[in-house]
Amino acid sequence: MELRVTDVSRLAWTGDCLAIGLFENGIDLAGDLADLDQQLAGTLKELIADTEFKGKSGDTAITRVGSGSPIRKIALIGLGKADGLKLDGVRRAASASARLARKEKCKTLGISLPPWQNDPVLTTQAIAEGVELALHQDTRFKSEPDEKANLPEQVELLGYGGQEAALHQASQICAGVILARELVSAPPNVVNPLTMAETAQAIAADHGLSLEILEQEDCEKLGMGAFLGVAKASDLPPKFLHLTYKPEGTPRRKLAIVGKGLTFDSGGLNLKVGNSSIEMMKTDMGGAAATLGAAKVIGLLKPDVEVHFISAVTENMVSGRAMRPGDILTASNGKTIEVNNTDAEGRLTLADALVFTEKLGVEAIVDLATLTGACVVALGGDIAGLWSPDDTIAAQLMAAAERSGEKIWRMPLEEKYFEGMKSVVADMKNTGSREGGAITAALFLKQFVKETPWAHLDIAGPVWADKENGYNSVGATGYGVRLLVNWALA
């Protein structure tokens, strides 16, 4: 598929499908739309009337144009109220246009959407992201290609001529999102600690990042008892990954992104049973996948910030070597942890990763993890939870999420809840009571960051889509990549 920007008007465009965005309560045809309707022999007015199209966000309508027309089909895309249009609304409208074109087997698509806040650069980027992410299909594990794919061969963004740079940046960002999607979607016999390390090596080699891989012996020397406690049961060796991007010259900021990297989580001896969907535990490395996706994008964009990308990667398995409920682990900062649930393993790996990261002397740390089912219960499948004791970094992430369209909601760090995690025999347990489980998980992580501004994102809900939603198809979403990149570039 080729994405292009052009100054060709919708009156002059020719091709298989012309998709036009219309605002709610603003569908009375005037100006060039009236001219276009006349050119199409009244087809626009008929389509609006026949489908009772109101222009609400998510509304779509499409029809075939009479023979002899330079346009084969015309589509209408609802934008909602004009004063409520968000950048992600543009992105979603573009994805709806692309999905309609694919469904209608249109090889060429012209998209005509208004600029968001008169900003053609961000609008171009949002349209391109919406199209590319909506049409992405992961068919790596199918024996035959999907003959019903019907992907458009050419998509033109009408009225955005000269925005090639924004188009190129969108393509680079989507490359990172797609990498994260494909890592999360892949089965655990394909993506494991070894192949995650290989992915990091490829990113470093292709995009000029430096890479440090700490092997098990290296982690032992650093006292990473929490991380290694989780890794003990697996037949595959753990890999502690540290990618670094440094710009030419003095960096404007020094940041770190830490991703949870459980390539499969059986639950350990607290084995996942019943309705726990153990087969979906391949997604438990969604934080690490987003971290690697963001590393790829930063390597492509080459901004003036220094960014460290860290992930302690392993499996949580069952064997005679497995950590047991009741075991006490010692993290690399000397804190002792009584394991009262081996299925709360992600926070153990993150504990040592956060201690390692703070020693790098960065100005801010963001970790993201598919950490708790409690966060999904609280916020559902579309929204990630945000915890931070620092208002500045929390505000930065909220602004980045607003631009990327990846929803987050700030949650409380209720210190009193940590009382339930105190242990008689160690400094703390790795889980508290069931109530407020996502909060106590964040409070656990907080014990491993001393002074650096820090935020935690629980992405257990939005890492995977059970049904089509905007530019996310069923499957892995690549959640977090665009948010993290926006945060780093701010």
SS3 label, residue 370: coil
Give the count of beta carbons closer than 10 Å to the beta carbon of residue 54. Answer: 14
Element spanning 387, H or E: strand 384-387
Is the pLDDT score of 149 beyond 90?
no
pLDDT, residue 25, reads: 78
Residue 440 CA to residue 432 CA, distance in Å, equals 6
Is residue 136 scored above 70 in pLDDT?
Answer: yes
**What's the pLDDT tens digit per position in 89-129?**
999 999 999 999 999 999 999 999 999 999 999 999 999 99
Residue with tokens 């061969």: 153
Strands annotated E in 195-316: 210-214, 239-245, 254-259, 261-265, 306-316
**Burial classification of residue 233, based on how many CB atoms lie within 10 Å of its CB (0-12 exposed, 13-18 middle, 19 or more buried):** buried
Evaluate if residue 273 carries a pLDDT over 90: no
Q: What tokens appear for 181 in the block?
A: 């999607």
Instruction: Copy the structure tokens of residue 398.
Output: 């909220």
CA nearest 397: which of 281, 489, 307, 260?
489
pTM: 0.97
Half-sphere exposure of 279 (CA within 13 A, CB side): 1
Which residue is it, tokens 């190129």? 168
Q: Give the phi and the psi of residue 315 in degrees, each rounded to 5.
A: -110, 155
Which run of H or of E encompasses 19? strand 15-22
Which tokens hold the place of 61? Answer: 């309508």
Q: Which long-range contacts (CB under 8 A, 24 or more apart) does 170-173 make?
A: 170/3, 170/124, 170/125, 170/126, 170/128, 170/129, 170/132, 171/3, 171/128, 171/132, 172/297, 172/300, 172/301, 173/125, 173/129, 173/297, 173/481, 173/482, 173/485
Q: What is the pLDDT of residues 441-453, one digit of tens each?
A: 999 999 999 999 9
What stretches of 216-301 show up as alpha helix (H) in DSSP? 216-221, 225-231, 286-301
In the set 347, 429, 446, 482, the catalytic residue is 347
Look at residue 275 in the predicted model and tell me its pLDDT. Answer: 66
- CB atoms inside a 10 Å sphere around CB 150: 14
Active site residue 91: no
Chain region(s) in the chain for CATH 3.40.220.10: 2-159
pLDDT at 148 over 70: no
Query: Looking at residues 277-302, what average pLDDT do you find?
Result: 97
Residue of 81, 272, 407, 410 marked active site: 272
Name the CATH topology of 171-489. Answer: Aminopeptidase (3.40.630)
Domain with CATH 3.40.630.10 in the chain: 171-489
Which of the listed CATH numbers 3.40.50.11610, 3.40.50.1860, 3.40.220.10, 3.30.379.10 matches domain 2-159? 3.40.220.10
272 is catalytic: yes
Please check whether residue 152 is in contact with residue 135, taking contact to mean a CB–CB distance below 8 angstroms.
yes
d(CA 259, CA 452): 17
Coil, strand, or helix at residue 415? helix
> Pairing mode, if any, of strands 2-6 and 154-158?
parallel
Confidence check: pLDDT of 147 > 70: no
Q: Are the C-beta atoms of residues 455 and 397 closer than 8 Å to each other?
A: yes
For residue range 1-53, what is the model confidence (pLDDT) as tens digits?
999 999 999 999 999 999 999 999 767 788 999 999 999 999 999 999 999 99
